[in-house]
Amino acid sequence: MSTSQKNIHVAVLAYGNRSRELGLVLDRLESLGIERIVVIANCVSQSVLNTIQSHALRGRTKIDSRNFTHNIGSAGGYSEAIRAAFCDPSCNAVWLLDDDNLPAPDCFGKLLEAYRLTGISIPTLLACRRPSLPEMQRIDPTQWQRYPARGSCIGFNLINILMRLRSPPSLKIDPSGLIPLAWTVYGGLLLPRAVFNTGELPMESLHLYGDDMEWTARLSRNGFRIMLVPEARIDDLQPPWSAAGETTSNLLRRICYLDDHRVYFEARNRNWLALTAFKGNALFYRLNRSLYLLAALIIAVRYQRIRRFRLLRQAIRDAELGKLGDCLPGKLDAK
């Protein structure tokens, strides 16, 4: 085993009752010769805890498990995982995985090749390809190669529509064969110790959804590179929530397919990010918000989902007021 492989640890964030999926992921990591795995058990079932314990007792890989009985969210979970992994001074990089992110047998090898190729002149985060994500199905994550347009409302922006009609964006590929990104998701991300040294960790007040976008976009704006390794494939053992409704639009997905929890936090956090990190002209934001809510209302009426429309509107309002945290709103506005 090479020195660089010895110094790369894995951090796995476990949720709920996915013991079967977690077991498969831990089996794969053990077969790859990973020396240390940190498992953050985020409000999990006893079955998941049993799976972690049984793999730890095998002794093939050192497993450091940290159990939280309350939901600390993805931002809190990955922050804890990064701190736990880098507390070992020999750890030079951490590979982040969800408990249902199953690396292909050659995934880690491809990631190591890219890790050696990128060098240390510019600190680089490496992302794996996850075909189950809508943006990754054709290895064409063009929307991840640019920051959200300023003045957007939950990602909706009239400029984006006009630009697509005029000239659809083309994929940029580095001479190395890697694909530069402006932001990415947690699952499959390899990050160097330089990230931890800067203190740039996920924003825990965002709790869930959109926190990975905020964090990785913040890192890339602060001088880190993010590169997608197309040949490093990770298969999701459960369909990602963002793929609900298959090829439907994000708006239709929020109105008709996702649950309240996901809709509220994802919409609130994305809108808060648009109003802070990517703030634009206030009048243009109001125009985009009005158009977005009008389209949402039409769809909600069509599918008899008025309550969902109110929740979406509340998420937009809370983002504007800077109301973050881990609580869903109580009684929704009845208007």
pLDDT tens-digit profile of 21-30?
999 999 999 9
In this predicted structure, the answer to whether residue 209 has a pLDDT above a threshold of 50 is yes
Burial (CB count within 10 angstroms: exposed 0-12, middle 13-18, buried 19+), residue 118: buried
Confirm if 36 and 88 have CB atoms less than 8 A apart. Answer: yes
Over its C-alpha atoms, the chain yields an Rg (Å, rounded) of 20
C-alpha distances in Å from residue 93, one per residue of 116, 129, 229, 246: 12, 19, 16, 34
Closest CA to 103 of 189, 39, 5: 189
What pLDDT digit, counting tens, does each position of 248-268 carry? Answer: 678 998 999 888 988 999 999
* C-beta pairs of 223-226 under 8 Å, 24+ apart in sequence: 223/122, 223/123, 224/122, 224/123, 224/124, 224/125, 224/194, 224/195, 225/118, 225/122, 225/123, 225/124, 225/125, 225/180, 226/124, 226/125, 226/126, 226/127, 226/180, 226/181, 226/182, 226/183, 226/184
Arithmetic mean of pLDDT, 102-121: 88
What pLDDT digit, counting tens, does each position of 133-168 carry? Answer: 877 766 567 778 888 889 999 989 988 777 666 666
In this predicted structure, the answer to whether residue 110 has a pLDDT above a threshold of 70 is yes
Arithmetic mean of pLDDT, 288-306: 96
Spatial distance between the Cα atoms of 98 and 40, rounded to a whole number of angstroms: 10
In this predicted structure, the answer to whether residue 299 has a pLDDT above a threshold of 60 is yes
Arithmetic mean of pLDDT, 293-299: 96
What pLDDT digit, counting tens, does each position of 25-60 carry? Answer: 999 999 998 999 999 999 999 999 999 999 999 888
For residue 245, the model assigns a pLDDT of: 47
